[in-house]
Amino acid sequence: MRERWFGATGRRVPEIAVEGELDVEGALVLDDVSDATGLHVAHQHGTPVVVRASSPDDVKAALARPEVSTVLVPPERRDLLDLDLRELTYGTDRAAG
């Protein structure tokens, strides 16, 4: 399981977690990553940023942002915990190198 820093708390958290199963108290919880200024300001202040996601593309978009500490997926989408982010990002046709 890959982890990320939970803002400036000194705590590490899974990069993808099921909503309700991770303590996100004190975090800025967003439904998407469209507010780049808000993400940046929270990050600059050391506030953890948590983003909700319900599809592979939403997870990918959230984790592409370095400000995001963790992505929360709905309990009915536990399958998103097993995403192969490398595959999702780069695909299977990567040239060997």
pLDDT digits (tens, 9 = 90+) for 35-52: 999 999 999 999 999 999
**Rounded mean pLDDT, 53-58:** 96
pLDDT recorded at residue 68: 96
pTM over 0.85: yes
Q: Where are the domains of the chain?
A: 3-76
Query: What are the CB-based long-range contacts (under 8 Å, 24+) for 53-61?
Result: 53/80, 54/80, 55/80, 56/80, 56/83, 56/88, 58/32, 59/16, 59/83, 59/85, 59/88, 60/85, 60/88, 60/89, 61/32, 61/33
